[in-house]
A and B are shown apart, each in its own frame.
Chain A
Amino acid sequence: MFSRIGAAQKGLYNHAVMWSFFHKLGSPPWLYDIAGSILRWLLPVTIMALLVGAVWGLLFTSPDFRQGNSYRIIYIHVPSAVVALAGYYVMAIAGAVSLIWRMKMADVAMKAAAPIGAALTFIALFTGALWGKPTWGTWWEWDARITSMLILLFLYLGVVALYEAFDNKEAAGRACAILSLVGMVNIPIIYKSVDWWYSLHQPASIKFSGESAIDSSMLYPLLLMIGAFYALFTCCLLMNMRAELVQRESRTAWVRKLVKQDGAH
């Protein structure tokens, strides 16, 4: 009897905590501050991890027995491609939340994710071309994996451009959210492209189940770089959101207070 009341109260309490969390998420000054305190430690950690991973992959691993040294591009190519895809989920889910619940901060997150995703997709394509030349003998091939990644780049750039095209930012947010949701169909195509179609691109070397087709001396720096690129995306997302919040809220009391504090030191 008592335990049931306790459970009900606990449930009510959890409910309240959850709602206050959502409430805070919707509060620009809270989001601005929390993003700032995350960045204070995450940004140096990210830069360190990127440097260590890059030097490890470039200078301290053995060359691939078949591809030689060109394979060292893997340490930036795979992480940027993986996070470019993950970033699309962030953008599309944020778009859906802003579309359904009219949550302003979700719109800020969606707009912040698009240019970072575009940059990462560009890195994946560019490094892929540089890797393809010595390995396949061509910079570019209109093959399923590469073409679907190019479409991903256009989707990201499309969201950036569409947002700028509207004077009414509320309509811009809605249009961009719809574009990113429609673009979701491209994501499984990218994942499955190397299995569904005959492709020059090799299938995934890292598997969650079963043994990876990559030696652990190459796997560890690769995993470090994947982690570092996820952290990089998070940092850039938070920084973009902070800048966007200052712009949107420039006439509010909390931004004015922030400006005064900023000028004081």
Chain B
Amino acid sequence: MYFDSLQAALSMEGHGSFVWVAYLITLLIISAILLLPALRRRRLLRRIATELARQESGYATGKGAR
């Protein structure tokens, strides 16, 4: 490791705030672009599942059948 202490790694001789904020924001954005499509697909699959379940129960009781 280049830095001698955690303190030195955090301050980076005065550039620490710029560097760490850049990495932190990048981490947040990357997390978002990885999580959002996965969540969207989950949500869609769940919605279709409830829709199918409703249709099937509707057919079974005779309600909702066209």
**Partner-B contacts on A (CB < 8 A):** 43, 50, 54, 58-63, 68-70, 72-73, 76-77, 80, 115-116, 119, 122-123, 126-127, 130-131, 133-134, 232, 235-236, 239-240, 242-243, 246-247, 250, 255-256, 258-260, 262-263
**Bitwise interface map of B from 2 to 19 toward A, beta carbon under 8 Å scored 1, else 0:** 110000010011111011
Chain A residues near B1 (CB, 8 Å)?
59-60
B65 lies within 8 A of chain A by Cβ: no
Which chain A positions have C-beta within 8 A of B34? 43, 232, 235-236, 239
Indicate if B60 sits at the interface (CB-CB under 8 A): no
8 A-B interface contacts by CB (under 8 A): A58-B9, A60-B1, A123-B25, A126-B22, A134-B14, A134-B15, A134-B18, A232-B30
Interface residue range, chain B = 20 to 34
Q: Which chain A residues border B9 with CB–CB below 8 Å? A: 58-59
- In the complex with contacts A72-B19, A246-B41, A123-B26 CB distance below 8 A: yes
Contact A68 B15 (CB under 8 A): yes
Instruction: Give which listed residue, B13, B18, B29, B48, contacts A250 with CB less than 8 A.
Output: B48
17 further A-B contacts with Cβ under 8 Å, apart from A72-B15, A250-B44, are A58-B9, A58-B23, A59-B1, A59-B9, A68-B13, A69-B13, A69-B16, A70-B12, A123-B25, A130-B21, A134-B14, A134-B15, A239-B34, A243-B37, A246-B44, A259-B49, A263-B49
A60 to chain B, nearest CB (A): 6
A262–B41 CA distance with the chains assembled, in angstroms: 12
- The one of A61, A247, A258 in contact with B2, judged by C-beta atoms closer than 8 angstroms, is A61
- B: residues with CB less than 8 A from A are 1-3, 9, 12-16, 18-19, 21-23, 25-26, 29-30, 32-34, 37-38, 40-41, 44-45, 48-49, 52
Q: How distant is A246 from chain B, measured CB to nearest CB, in Å?
A: 5
Option from B21, B33, B48 in Cβ contact (under 8 Å) with A246: B48
Which chain A residues border B3 with CB–CB below 8 Å?
59
B residues in contact with A256, CB < 8 Å: 48, 52
Contact B44 A247 (CB under 8 A): yes
With A242-B37, A258-B45, A262-B49 given, is the CB distance from A131 to B30 under 8 Å?
no
Contacts of B41 in A (CB 8 A): 239, 242-243, 246
If the complex has contacts A69-B19, A239-B37, A247-B44, are A80 and B2 also in contact, measured as CB distance less than 8 A? Answer: no
Q: A236-B37, A246-B44 are in contact. Are A131 and B22 (CB under 8 A)?
A: yes
Residues of A within 8 A of B19 (CB): 58, 69-70, 72-73, 130
**Which among A54, A59, A126, A239 is the interface contact of B25 at CB below 8 angstroms?**
A126
CB closest chain-B residue, reference A73 = B22
> Given the complex, which residues of B lie within 8 Å of A246, measured CB to CB?
41, 44-45, 48
Q: Contacts A59-B2, A76-B23, A116-B33 given: A259-B15 contact, CB under 8 Å?
A: no
Residues of chain B within 8 A of A122, CB atoms compared: 29
Residues of B within 8 A of A68 (CB): 12-15
Report the Cα distance A217→B8, complex, angstroms.
21
Q: Inside 8 A of A263's CB, which chain B residues have their CB?
A: 49
Task: List the 4 closest pairs (A to B, CB-CB), nearest first.
Answer: A69-B12, A239-B37, A243-B41, A69-B15
